[in-house]
Structure 1
Amino acid sequence: MKKLLSVLKYAFLLGISAFLMWYALKELDFQRMWAELRNANYIWVGISLVMGVAAYVSRAYRWHMQIKPTGYNPSLINTYRAMMVGYLANLVLPRMGEVVRCTILKRTDKVPVNTGFGTVVAERFIDMLMLLLAVGLTFLVEFDRIRDFFLGLFSTKYASLEYTLSSLYWVLWVFIGAAGFAVLLILKYLKRLQQHTYFKKAVSFFKGMLEGALSVTKLENQTVFWGHTVFVWLMYYCMSVVVLLALPATSNLGWGAGLSILVVGTLGMAAPVQGGVGVYHLLVQSTLLLYGVPKEAGMAYALLVHTSQTLLVVLMGVLSFAASMLQQSRSFAAQRTHLNSSKHELK
């Protein structure tokens, strides 16, 4: 039953992606869009891919730095491979990549899944802070365009801001009440719960996860860590700007447009659908419309960025997965050889 529900869930998300992609494409002149793609300067796309590789390597090094304070020291290459396989998994099963990469790192370097997942939670929190910083900078630079975009986006969903805030307050109070009731129940039956095996396992899991999440406060070199964080987001921004230069219709846009695309594109990729397909394309196309870029050229830009980066993740993820499996098989073979030799010595 659980497997069926899981299949239906991901089929539903895939259906949403397909619908949004259809919606973004349905009114386009395909001949004009293909003309834009044919006339593109793919050297700039290639440069964006190099930037993407640099960003992934930097992210892997940053994750490696986060793990070390927890008492485990996986190799940098294994950390990179686990991360890329996780990104590959996210293209198939949204939000599963975080668990997958922690599972692989446990197999290769014995890092507990809960500890690894805690470091990923901290990583996501830092990325959220960087995104908020990018949003703030974008509003300062491109206030008029971004304001119009978000007002248009939300005005179709909500009749009034007052009604929305009222609804959010009710949700918040219900959440606080439920959380308080749960805490009271736990305190009342704490002694009995402490004797339960599953409760002990849950406490142990969350302790390990908390240790991983707090690893950022115990880093050996905070300057290097935050330097890599800034570098990663700088590469994301430069990738957005560089591909603008690839198309005649977008080559005249300034660095402010790159900021807008970075923010909106990141939100699209964060959507709980496979690889942000459909959501990313629709949001980026809508953003470029604010800069006077025709729909066909906007979709051509979105296709260039999303397709090239997705293919990069697939290539690096598949190679990393193959290397991890080969390493694991060699490790098993070495263990078997050692075991056989030990048995032979005993005889």
Structure 2
Amino acid sequence: MAGKSLLRQHPLKFILSFGVSAFLIWFVFKDLDWQGFILALEDISASYILLGAALLIYSVWVRAQRWKILISPQGPSKTKDLFDALLVGYLGNDVLPFRLGEVLRAALAARKTKILISGIGATILVDRVLDMLSFLIIAACFYMFYPIADWAQTVAIIGFSALIIFLGLAIFMRGQREKLFGWIESWSRRKAEAGKIKMAGHILSLFKGIETMWQMPQPIKVLSYTVWLWILYIMITALGLAAFHFDFTTTEFFMASMVLLTFTTISLSIPSAPGFVGTYHGAVVAALALVGIAPTPAKAFAIVFHLLNYLAMAIPGAIIFFRTGLKFQFASDPTEVTGPPKEQVN
């Protein structure tokens, strides 16, 4: 199994990830008031939770539409195929260590689209960069106008600085495109002449995928999908808060949703066990403490909201995974999933 191979290669990373999760679960729930916890769970409005789950799945479809645009320079793809790949990727992140779901996502997308897995992987990197930049910008704007703590201004400065750096880099790379592509093409041709046709194809495919970062196809559409995704995430978070009947005004609901969303988004970058166990719960409880929610209902919310995100992705992801007949050997050899890659060298 690929997971066992990676475990042997990175034992310290594995121990650290599970250690962080175990510590945070213990720390967050060690003084849990079980009676208050059960009362908080009994008072949940299930309709809000179900609506949040539906919007969460819909957000995956929106992400698939954006991803389709990022992939378009390398070849045609179907939104449904990318939607399936995303859900299987989320399943992988929920059950496998080391974020192997991203590899599974790339493998299934490559299999469905017949595009080289290296090129697909590059577009996933671009997809993540879009998420990171848009998150920093949104967080910066929010904390600039609603500085809920001393560190809020720092977040705003980091967000705007990241935007300036990225725009400068994009302008520079766009100007160097012909020179860079000539070097990549020459390197690829040398590999092909040496008989390494597959490697040559992967080099070109990887460059084409990364190139979308500074030569974005349909930028207005990509921007629209990105903004819509964050609106959906805010709505999903607000629905989760509404399900617990927290005593917020409309403005406070928005503020609490934004604080919660920024904390949980940051928590996804912290090493943890599969499914972001512990790190996600800790982030939720810390965020809700900032907006005045008592520890016991905050802990109940953390468990329910984590389950909402986990099950809404894992269940359809598992159905697609077994329906497509995938196996977990993808991590050690992605061609076992994707089949032989196309040769893209002229």
Structure-1-length-normalised TM-score: 0.74
Pair 96,198 (structure 1): closer, same or farther in 2 beyond 3 Å:
farther
- After TM superposition, give the deviation of residue 107 of structure 1 in Å: 2.3
Q: Does the 8 A contact of 1:67 with 1:116 survive in 2?
A: yes
- Give unpaired runs (5+ residues) of structure 2: 156-186, 327-346
Picking from 51, 57, 64, the partner of 2:61 is: 57
What residue number does 1:78 align with? 81
What amino acid sits opposite 2:89 in the alignment? G
What residue number does 2:315 align with? 315
Pair 199,272 (structure 1): closer, same or farther in 2 beyond 3 Å:
farther
What amino acid sits opposite 1:292 in the alignment? G
Identity %: 23
What residue number does 2:26 align with? 22
Secondary structure (helix, strand or coil) at the match of 1:254 reads helix
Cα distance between partner residues in 1 of 2:317 and 2:123: 20
Task: List aligned pairs for 1:83-94, cutoff 5 A.
Answer: 83-91=86-94, 92-94=96-98
What residue number does 1:260 align with? 259
What amino acid sits opposite 2:59 in the alignment? A
| More divergent stretch after superposition (252-261 vs 83-92) | 252-261
Q: Does the 8 A contact of 2:20 with 2:271 survive in 1?
A: no
What residue number does 2:232 align with? 235
Pair 41,227 (structure 1): closer, same or farther in 2 beyond 3 Å:
same
Q: Deviations over 1:295-338 (max 9, x none)?
A: 11111222221111100111121122133229xxxxxxxxxxxx
Pair 24,250 (structure 1): closer, same or farther in 2 beyond 3 Å:
farther
What residue number does 1:277 align with? 277
What residue number does 1:168 align with? none
Do structure 1's residue 212 and structure 2's residue 209 form an aligned pair?
yes
Picking from 117, 120, 127, the partner of 2:131 is: 127
What amino acid sits opposite 2:98 in the alignment? P
Q: Deviations over 1:240-275 (max 9, x none)?
A: 111111113355543111111111111112323222
Cα distance between partner residues in 2 of 1:200 and 1:322: 33
Picking from 224, 227, 236, the partner of 2:221 is: 224
Task: List aligned pairs for 1:290-329, cutoff 5 A.
Answer: 290-325=290-325
Q: Deviations over 1:108-150 (max 9, x none)?
A: 3311011001111110110011110121122123313363899
| More divergent stretch after superposition (203-212 vs 235-244) | 203-212
Cα distance between partner residues in 2 of 1:123 and 1:267: 16
Task: List aligned pairs for 1:141-152, cutoff 5 A.
Answer: 141-145=145-149, 147=151
Q: Deviations over 1:48-99 (max 9, x none)?
A: 11110111010011111211211x2132221111111111111122322222
- After TM superposition, give the deviation of residue 203 of structure 1 in Å: 6.3
What residue number does 1:69 align with? 73
Do structure 1's residue 244 and structure 2's residue 241 form an aligned pair?
yes
Q: Deviations over 1:206-253 (max 9, x none)?
A: 432121122356665332222111111111111111111111335554
What amino acid sits opposite 2:53 in the alignment? L
Picking from 37, 42, 47, the partner of 2:41 is: 37
Greater radius of gyration (CA): 1
Cα distance between partner residues in 1 of 2:6 and 2:302: 36
Pair 245,210 (structure 1): closer, same or farther in 2 beyond 3 Å:
same
Picking from 90, 107, 111, the partner of 1:107 is: 111
Q: Does the 8 A contact of 2:191 with 2:200 survive in 1?
A: no
What amino acid sits opposite 1:287 in the alignment? A
What residue number does 1:136 align with? 140
Pair 194,58 (structure 1): closer, same or farther in 2 beyond 3 Å:
closer
What amino acid sits opposite 2:91 in the alignment? L
Structure-2-length-normalised TM-score: 0.74
Instruction: Report the count of equivalent residues.
Output: 285
- After TM superposition, give the deviation of residue 194 of structure 1 in Å: 6.8
Cα distance between partner residues in 1 of 2:150 and 2:129: 24
Pair 199,271 (structure 1): closer, same or farther in 2 beyond 3 Å:
farther
Q: Does the 8 A contact of 2:40 with 2:300 survive in 1?
A: yes
Pair 119,2 (structure 1): closer, same or farther in 2 beyond 3 Å:
closer
